[in-house]
Amino acid sequence: MQAGSAAKIEKTMDRAASALFGCAAAYAAFMGFARGSAGSIAAAEAAAAGMLAFFLTGRALAAVHPEAAKLPVPVFDVRQIDPVEAPHSPESAELLLTDRYEAPAAAQETLMLDDVLAQLEPDSRVVRLFDPAAMPTPGQLNDRIERHLVRDAPPGSSHDASQALHDALAQLRRSLR
């Protein structure tokens, strides 16, 4: 990004911040002046307060200048890099990497992972989402779908579903035990 365009962006952001503050000051002034004076007078006073706030914040933000860079970054010169020959075979590339890197002794130990979920007791409160013993068979799933799709009541009538809800909650409690 060019320095000129960065300065333009910063100047635009300063103006936008000043405008937002000016609008907020005008609104606050209008709400304060509206109680004691007529509507058009209150609007004129609020506009004057907003303009004053816009110009004051604009001047204050324009007075702030960025600091000079504390750590100047030198220009990167590609000509200073020594050319390196590319390895001709994968084995030589592997040797090139292993000669310069030695793994720490702790990294050479075998990592053992234990399945903690397999050791849970049946009365634990952990929900087993994919427990093969708790998964319904395809026939049971089909029966559930059929019961859901086929209703005894006609489509227009409404019935009390509290007993069905009570039964479903009881079944859920039994399955969690």
CB atoms within 10 A of CB 47: 14
Q: What is the distance between the alpha carbons of residues 99 and 106, in angstroms, rounded to a whole number?
A: 19
Residue 22, classified by CB atoms within 10 Å of its CB into exposed (0-12), middle (13-18) or buried (19+), is buried
19 pLDDT above the threshold of 90: yes
Map out the domains of the chain as residue ranges: 3-63
CB atoms within 10 A of CB 111: 5
Under 8 Å between Cβ of 61 and 17:
yes
30-49 pLDDT per residue, tens: 988 877 777 788 888 899 99
- DSSP state string for 84-125: -PPPSSHHHHHHHHHHH----GGGGSPPP---SGGG--TT--
Mean per-residue pLDDT for 104-118?
63
Tokens of 6: 């960065």
Q: What is the distance between the alpha carbons of residues 83 and 25, in angstroms, rounded to a whole number?
A: 63
Q: What is the distance between the alpha carbons of residues 24 and 121, in angstroms, rounded to a whole number?
A: 62
Q: What is the distance between the alpha carbons of residues 21 and 12, in angstroms, rounded to a whole number?
A: 14
Q: Indicate the pLDDT class of residue 177, thresholds 50, 70 and 90.
A: confident
Residue 129's pLDDT is what? 65
Q: What is the distance between the alpha carbons of residues 32 and 42, in angstroms, rounded to a whole number?
A: 9
Residue carrying structure tokens 């590609």 = 78
- Please give the model's pTM, rounded to 2 decimal places: 0.38
In this structure, what DSSP letter does residue 156 have? T
Q: Indicate the pLDDT class of residue 59, thresholds 50, 70 and 90.
A: very high
Tokens of 31: 């709400």
Mean per-residue pLDDT for 7-22?
92
What percent of the chain is modeled with pLDDT above 70?
Answer: 65
Identify the weakest region by mean pLDDT among 12-21, 35-44, 59-68, 161-170: 35-44
Mean per-residue pLDDT for 55-74?
84
State the chain's mean pLDDT as an integer: 76
CB atoms within 10 A of CB 75: 5
115-171 pLDDT per residue, tens: 655 666 667 666 666 667 777 888 888 888 888 887 654 555 456 778 888 888 888
